[in-house]
Amino acid sequence: MACELPAASGVPLSRWSSAELAREAIGRGIVEQISGVTVWRWLSQDAIKPWQHRSWIFPRDPLFAERAGPILDLYAGYWQGERLHPGDYVVCADEKPSIQARKRIAATRPARRGEARKVEHEYERMGALCYLAAWDARGARIFDRCAPKDGIEPFDTLVDQFMSQHPYTRAQRVFLIVDNGSAHRGKRSIDRLQGAWPNLTVWCTLPSTPPGSTRPRSTSPSSNARSSPPTTSPTSTPSSSTSWPSAAATSRSPRRWPLDLR
C-alpha cells in the first residue's frame, strides 16, 4: 500500500504520510489499530519513504542514453572506456541570465546579545545581471562571475578565468561540458574555445551529427528563411582527422550508469 500512489486508492493526497497510511490501513481493515509512528518505523526498516519525492524528467530523445553516456562517464572519471589521467580535469559550465539585482534601502544590522540580525525588507531594483559559473566536477572548485548580459564575450571570460590558472593551464586535458546555449554551441564555438586553449576538449549536450557533417537544411523557401546554422559534433582538437568515438567505444560492459527509460 505504501508503494502505491494515493490516487489509486481514491485518497486526495499527492503523497502518503505515515499518519495517512495508518488511517488507510485501518480503513481497509488491514489492522484494527495502528499508529503513524509504528508505520514510520516499519517502513524505515525497509527503506521505504513514500512521503519523500524526487523531481524527474522523462527522456524524450530515443538516443538519450547514447548521448548522455559520455558525459556521465566523464563525471565518473572515465573517457572512451579508460580511467582519466590524474592530469585530466572535468569542468561543467553554464550561465543564468536575467537575475534581478536588488539593493536593500538600509544596511543589514549584525546580531547582538538577545537580538537577531536585522535585514531590511524593502529594496530597490538595480536591473538584471547574468550569473556565469564553472564547476570542477572532480576537484570540487567553483569559478563564477557576474556580467551585464550573457553572450560569447562573458562566457569566454569565464573560461579564461579558470583556464589561465593552475592546474588547468598546464593540465594534460580539460574536458568542458556545456549545454546548447547560444554562446557555446556548434562547431564555430568549439573551434573558438579549443583554438584559444589547445588542451581544452569541449563536449556539448546538443544532439549532434557525425564529425565533419552538417545538419540537412530544408530547400523550401519558407524554411530557408528560418533555418539555423548547421551544427557539427565536437572534436577533441580542431582537426578534421580526429574521429569522435561511437557509442560502443564510450560504453563499458556493464555500463556504470544504467538509465531507466521507461
| pLDDT value at residue 227 | 39
**Would you say residue 105 lies in a domain?**
no
Are both 244 and 200 inside the same structural domain?
yes
Collapsing DSSP states into helix, strand and coil, what is residue 142? Answer: strand
Residue 106 has pLDDT above 90, yes or no: yes
**Would you say residue 29 lies in a domain?**
yes
Are both 176 and 244 inside the same structural domain?
yes
- Give the CATH number, domain containing residue 229: 3.30.420
* % of the chain beyond a pLDDT of 90: 63
Are both 195 and 236 inside the same structural domain?
yes
**Would you say residue 19 lies in a domain?**
yes
| pLDDT value at residue 206 | 60
Residue-wise pLDDT for 63-95, tens only, equals 888 888 999 999 999 999 999 999 999 999 999
Are both 92 and 23 inside the same structural domain?
no
C-alpha cell, 231 = 551544427
Are both 69 and 12 inside the same structural domain?
no
Query: Structural domain tally of the chain?
Result: 2
Amino acid at 62: P
| Rounded CA separation 155/145 (Å) | 10
Are both 41 and 68 inside the same structural domain?
no
Predicted confidence band at 171 (pLDDT cuts at 50, 70, 90)? very high
| pLDDT value at residue 181 | 87
**Would you say residue 119 lies in a domain?**
no
| pLDDT value at residue 214 | 38
Are both 226 and 169 inside the same structural domain?
yes
Can you list the alpha helix ranges (DSSP code H) found in the chain? 18-27, 36-45, 64-76, 152-163, 186-196, 221-224, 247-250
Structure-model confidence comparison of residues 179 and 247, the more confident one: 179
Residue 16 has pLDDT above 80, yes or no: yes
Are both 171 and 69 inside the same structural domain?
yes
> Taking a C-beta distance cutoff of 8 angstroms, is the pair 163, 169 a contact?
yes
Are both 152 and 195 inside the same structural domain?
yes
Domain that holds residue 73: 64-99+130-250
Are both 74 and 183 inside the same structural domain?
yes
**Would you say residue 107 lies in a domain?**
no
Cα angle: 44, vertex 49, 51; to 5 degrees: 135
Residue 192 has pLDDT above 60, yes or no: yes
Nearest to 182 by CA among 240, 148, 229, 145: 229
Stretch 44-66: mean pLDDT: 88
**Would you say residue 22 lies in a domain?**
yes
Residue 117 has pLDDT above 90, yes or no: yes
**Would you say residue 228 lies in a domain?**
yes
**Would you say residue 151 lies in a domain?**
yes
Are both 184 and 219 inside the same structural domain?
yes
Are both 24 and 141 inside the same structural domain?
no
Stretch 18-26: mean pLDDT: 92
Amino acid at 232: T
| Rounded CA separation 115/142 (Å) | 34
Predicted confidence band at 220 (pLDDT cuts at 50, 70, 90)? very low
* % of the chain beyond a pLDDT of 70: 78
